[in-house]
Chains A and B, each alone.
Chain A
Amino acid sequence: MSWILENLDTIGELTLVHLALSLPAVVIAFLVSIPLAWIANRIRVLREPLLTGTGLLYAVPSLPLFILLPALVGTSVRDPLNVVIALSIFGLALMVRSAAEALDAVTDDVQTSATAIGFSRVGRFFAVELSLAGPALLAGVRVVCVSSISLVSVSAVLGVNSLGSLFTDGFARDIIGSILAGIVMTVVLALICDLLLVLAGRLLMPWNKNAATVRPRLRKRRTQEAAA
């Protein structure tokens, strides 16, 4: 335990580095998955090849990918960019199918009515389809976020610093505190990010029934006050 207390600074710093590697990957995976999902839904022949194809990317073993990327992208072996790119690919593998399904689930009724009242195609996509797919998209992003945060750790093997470095160092130097700190911080970080995503979802999508659980409670309190 004393190791942890003595190295709080290092743990804090590695946590931030860990975040800096995983969050961009989540954002990239999300942004790239939306147009791909749109194409998959729009051009039906491409749907299965696209969804299965991107899904298969997840089957690429992570370590060889980390090693191959520098050769493909032209980065140096220890460039953090490799990690971000690899994680974006894994995130994309998870996200494209959920995004395509989320967008596909927006009912025809709403789309017809949006067209009928004068939304243009593009306007309808952003104002109606994307918003209504929100809750399902959020569910996909949560999975990608947690999975990216845990996957980043692998980068330590390549010498790119992250919370994973706490295990590799811990194992190499036989420091239990370091290993523990690495595991606990990764889990805590994933949980906090997930919680923040849920909160953001409630703020951005107050219309969503699953998020609107506050209402009955409020009403109950009000009736109790009225009774008293």
Chain B
Amino acid sequence: MIEFRQVGKTYPDGTTAVEEFSLTVPSRSTAVLLGSSGCGKTTLLRMVNRMVEPSTGSVLIDEEDISGVEPVALRRRIGYVMQHSGLLPHRRVIDNIATVPRLNGASRADARKRGYELMEIVGLDAKLGLRYPGQLSGGQQQRVGVARGLAADPNILLMDEPFGAVDPLVRVELQRELARVQEELKKTIIFVTHDIDEALTLGDQIVVLKTGGAVAASGTPAELLSNRQDEFVSRFLGLDSGARSLSAEKTDDGELLISDAQGRPLGVVPAQTDRADRP
């Protein structure tokens, strides 16, 4: 469990990145910090592995205040995945994944063995292991990034817009893969993004942030979509323009044809089931 207790961050030059932010992320769930750039979401994420020290308040992992934990040791037990993968260009793919186990003291052979297991988990061909990151596609590099984040088998995974730099088709595929991996491994994930669809796909809970780390809204995807109280939130999620309003029309076979705001058909709800649990 990760707990932000009224954390704030003010830089020496006086800019306030985050003010009085509180959030509890239950173990084995995914929390998405959603907001445009400058809203302090990356600052919040980096407080969890002490890359940013909060000016006020505290961050707790499993009830333990992390300000007392040695930063390097802390980072080695927390997975971190970032945009542009952040891979080390001078190390082979397999050694990139094996970096954290190596730092934790595993032998080179054991670390590489673990690396190949992870390549399989994230859906990478083992043949790519001996290549250098520069020889991989953007999507493949991001998969390597995820594998590296998972390599030390951390309980916590921090993801900073990990799929922000890949093309939309690959992004959707990576999101699906991450959801599958999460289903299997059940990590506690904090995921930072500005992509609303990504947040809705991956988040168990979503926190929408305004400038300065102020929480505009938070809740499950379903709660957010049915929230029209806050103007900022409905505009941010596109609820006000009707872009997310769907319409249903009964067909002759008794199925429901669902269309979006522009009248484009999206799919059908079969006659027998009446499940509507997907937002």
User: With A116-B49, A116-B80, A117-B103 in contact, do A110 and B86 touch (Cβ < 8 Å)?
Assistant: yes
Chain A residues with CB under 8 A of B88:
110, 113-114, 128, 132
A113 and B82 form a contact (CB under 8 A): yes
User: With A112-B82, A115-B75 in contact, do A132 and B89 touch (Cβ < 8 Å)?
Assistant: yes
Closest to B134 in A: A209
How close is B187's CB to chain A, nearest CB, in angstroms? 16
A113 and B87 form a contact (CB under 8 A): yes
User: With A207-B91, A207-B132, A207-B134 in contact, do A118 and B75 touch (Cβ < 8 Å)?
Assistant: yes
B109 within 8 A of A: no
User: With A109-B84, A112-B82 in contact, do A118 and B89 touch (Cβ < 8 Å)?
Assistant: no
B218 within 8 A of A: no
B132 and A117 form a contact (CB under 8 A): no
Measured in the bound complex, the distance between the Cα atoms of B91 and A120 in whole Å is 18
Interface string of A185-228 (1 = CB under 8 A from B): 00000000000000000000111110000000000000000000
Closest to A115 in B: B51
A207 and B100 form a contact (CB under 8 A): no
B100 and A112 form a contact (CB under 8 A): no
Measured in the bound complex, the distance between the Cα atoms of B251 and A94 in whole Å is 79
Measured in the bound complex, the distance between the Cα atoms of B91 and A128 in whole Å is 9
Measured in the bound complex, the distance between the Cα atoms of B132 and A22 in whole Å is 36
Measured in the bound complex, the distance between the Cα atoms of B76 and A110 in whole Å is 16
Interface string of A84-123 (1 = CB under 8 A from B): 0000000000000000000000000110111111111001
Contacts of B36-53 to chain A: CB distance below 8 A: 46, 49, 51
A131 within 8 A of B: yes
B9 within 8 A of A: no
Measured in the bound complex, the distance between the Cα atoms of B72 and A207 in whole Å is 27
B90 within 8 A of A: yes
Chain A residues with CB under 8 A of B148:
117
A70 within 8 A of B: no
A134 within 8 A of B: yes
How close is A103's CB to chain B, nearest CB, in angstroms? 14
A116 and B89 form a contact (CB under 8 A): no
User: With A207-B91, A209-B134 in contact, do A118 and B72 touch (Cβ < 8 Å)?
Assistant: yes
Measured in the bound complex, the distance between the Cα atoms of B84 and A209 in whole Å is 18
Q: List 13 A-B contacts (CB under 8 A).
A: A110-B88, A110-B89, A112-B86, A113-B88, A115-B75, A117-B76, A118-B72, A118-B73, A118-B103, A118-B104, A132-B89, A206-B132, A207-B89
* Other A-B pairs beyond A109-B86, A114-B86, A116-B86, 17, CB < 8 Å: A109-B84, A112-B82, A112-B86, A113-B85, A113-B86, A113-B88, A114-B88, A116-B46, A117-B80, A118-B76, A118-B103, A118-B104, A131-B90, A132-B88, A205-B90, A207-B92, A208-B90
